[in-house]
Homo-oligomer: A and B are copies of this chain.
Amino acid sequence: MNIAILFGGSSYEHEISIVSAITMKKVLKKSQITYIFVDANREFWLIDRDKINSKLFSSGEYKKGRKLTLKKGGFFTEGMFGSKQVGFDVALNLIHGRDGEDGKIASLMGFFDIPYISPRIEASVLSYNKLYTKFLAQSLGVKTVPYEHLSKSDPRTIKTPLPAIIKPVRLGSSIGVSIVRDESELAYALDVAFEFDNDVIIEPFIEGVKEYNQAGCYTDRWELSIIEEPHKEEFLDFEKKYMDFSRDSQLLAADISPELTQKIQETFKRIYDPLFRGSIIRCDFFVVNDEVMLNEINPIPGSMANYLFEDFEAMIWRLAKSLPKEEKIAVDYQYIHSIQSAKGKA
């Protein structure tokens, strides 16, 4: 199978997307990989698999390569003798943050009829925005941490008791996130968050909360990863998270009871199906008094959370064969014909 990896994007996570993409080379060993780079200016470039390394991008050297045009059915190189399609079986959306997670790449792939692994548009919009994720969870009967929402123009006061965690609603990888322990830190934390977004949510920071991550997808069957207990830090900052995006060796499962495992798996399935069909996502859960609460949905997890699966590559192949198909709409101009004949009679 030939997998086109889309990476980069106009995103705060552009650089870690490059790291994720390079990691895929070690993970997708049996597949052919077609690397398609979306530069910060949102132009598409075909990258040679053998030459890919981080310096190619930071130096701007990728611009010596072939530029691509997106058209009906795929990506094309344009030359003297017309355009030539870049061949691959499926596109894998590996753009973290804006463009990749906000629905733009899903829209582009869907509109131009390119088979793709990624959350679809609705799934992207609901998971990219932490406020909408709360709506979604509520509608599915999935518990979340209580929260309040503040817009840039609102008064800078909060009702959530301290310590609280302040998050811009639309960013991943902990960018702009702060923990506020004292009233005096609030104004600065809100300023930081509003640097990145016009909306923030505020949640109580639960000291020592148990956190578990479950990744998975639905192919022709449920494919759930082991459950990971991420390393205990207050939260992962950008540098530490960076390491996650380059991870390619398998982890050990969290040591939890079969009952809790089942609860986490059931909650994952309820969130995933059917909204996230066609994608591999990671849900991060909090567990408080045996109650499973959704913390956040990672619609494009770092290096696709490959390290949580036993045979990630085989799963990708199965997923590529189980993608949701958009309904075909036949346009027969029946209405226009009937107006025309009505006008003819008038």
Residues of A within 8 A of B (CB): 10-12, 14-16, 18-19, 40-43, 54-55, 57-58, 69-72, 78, 98-99, 102-104, 106-108, 110-113, 121-122, 125-126, 129, 131-132, 135-136, 138-139, 149, 151, 198, 238-239, 242, 274, 329-331, 333-337, 339-340
Name A's interface SS. helix
Tell me which of B42, B126, B149 contacts A72 (CB under 8 A): B42
- Distance of A241 from chain B, by nearest CB (Å): 11
Known: A111-B99, A111-B104. A329 touches B10 (CB 8 A): yes
Q: By the criterion CB–CB under 8 Å, are A110 and B104 in contact?
A: yes
Q: By the criterion CB–CB under 8 Å, are B333 and A15 in contact?
A: yes
Tell me which of B58, B78, B122, B136 contacts A336 (CB under 8 A): B58
CA distance A334 to B14 in the complex (A): 11
Known: A58-B337, A336-B18. A122 touches B131 (CB 8 A): no
What residues of B have a CB within 8 angstroms of the CB of A340 in the complex?
A: 54-55, 58
What residues of B have a CB within 8 angstroms of the CB of A99 in the complex?
A: 111
What residues of B have a CB within 8 angstroms of the CB of A57 in the complex?
A: 333, 336
Q: By the criterion CB–CB under 8 Å, are A329 and B42 in contact?
A: no
- Distance of A59 from chain B, by nearest CB (Å): 8
Known: A42-B72, A129-B122, A274-B198. A336 touches B108 (CB 8 A): no
- Distance of A35 from chain B, by nearest CB (Å): 16
CA distance A41 to B71 in the complex (A): 12
CA distance A333 to B17 in the complex (A): 12
| Leading 5 A-B pairs by shortest Cβ distance | A107-B107, A58-B333, A40-B331, A135-B135, A125-B125
What residues of B have a CB within 8 angstroms of the CB of A19 in the complex?
A: 336
Q: Which one of A15, A72, A112, A136 has the highest number of Cβ atoms from chain B below 10 Å of its Cβ? A: A15
Residue of B nearest to A334 (CB): B15
Q: By the criterion CB–CB under 8 Å, are A331 and B107 in contact?
A: no
What residues of B have a CB within 8 angstroms of the CB of A126 in the complex?
A: 125, 132
CA distance A333 to B70 in the complex (A): 26
CA distance A104 to B242 in the complex (A): 31
Q: By the criterion CB–CB under 8 Å, are A329 and B104 in contact?
A: no
CA distance A70 to B75 in the complex (A): 12
Q: By the criterion CB–CB under 8 Å, are B108 and A121 in contact?
A: no
A69-B71, A107-B111, A135-B139 known; 6 new pairs, CB 8 Å cut-off, are A10-B331, A15-B331, A42-B113, A57-B336, A102-B121, A122-B125
What residues of B have a CB within 8 angstroms of the CB of A42 in the complex?
A: 72, 111-113
Residue of B nearest to A170 (CB): B122
Residue of B nearest to A54 (CB): B336
